[in-house]
Amino acid sequence: MDEISPEDYERLVDEFTKQAAADFRQASLSVQEQRQTCCRYFKRGEIADLSRPELVDFLGVSTPSVLEMAGYSDEDAQRVMEMIADISEDEIEKVAV
């Protein structure tokens, strides 16, 4: 991907994280749905040319994180962050976006 301006990057991240927060909000009641949402999140991030460390940061580290924006409690957010550790590349590859 070509270099993008800081403004365009900020806009991309803002739109990406808002969409991801909406997706996680819809998946908040089911661990299986959260896992699928994690896979979609990483796949969409890859398509948007965002790195895995950036995606992990946006998901649960930066403030506000995607999970905070989705209304997850600290406990629920921690569970999702632990879940992403054992999601395989194969699982991410197979998910529909």
- What pLDDT does residue 18 have? 98
CA-CA distance, 14 to 11, in Å (whole number)?
5
User: Is there a contact between 97 and 44 (Cβ–Cβ < 8 Å)?
Assistant: yes
Question: pLDDT tens digits, residue range 24-73?
Answer: 999 989 999 999 999 999 999 999 999 999 999 999 999 999 999 999 99
Query: Which pLDDT band holds residue 3 (cuts at 50, 70, 90)?
Result: confident
CA-CA distance, 64 to 70, in Å (whole number)?
10
- For 55, other C-beta atoms within 10 Å of its C-beta total 22
